[in-house]
Amino acid sequence: MKTAQAGTLESMDCIVTVTETEKGRGISISMEGASIVRFGEAMLKATKDTLKSLGVRDISVSIQDNGAGDLVLKARVEAAVRRLAEVKAA
């Protein structure tokens, strides 16, 4: 399975790792980090919204958060998905 990543573990950032899954498996999201307790639902929604806007239906997403805001999270998810598409095309 192919994997791609975007982001850092710097303060106010996150690392998003995406892994291709079999067609029909849907979206799987796992999250780690101190902000998850407080902002987990908002992060989950932002991730799902970004995946939906990119037309992604089958993917596994892992988020290691270090205080990233919504815009940063969305940008990291999009970058990781686009990198995965490049890896798959190669």
Evaluate whether 63 touches 32 at the Cβ level (below 8 Å). Answer: yes
Q: Where are the domains of the chain?
A: 3-89
Structure pTM? Answer: 0.95
Evaluate whether 21 touches 53 at the Cβ level (below 8 Å). Answer: no
Q: Using one digit for the tens of pLDDT, what is the confidence trace for 25-75?
A: 999 999 999 889 999 999 999 999 999 999 999 999 999 999 999 999 999
H-helix segments, the chain: 36-53, 70-89
**Count of helix runs (H) and strand runs (E) in the chain:** 2, 4
Under CATH, to which class is 3-89 assigned? alpha beta
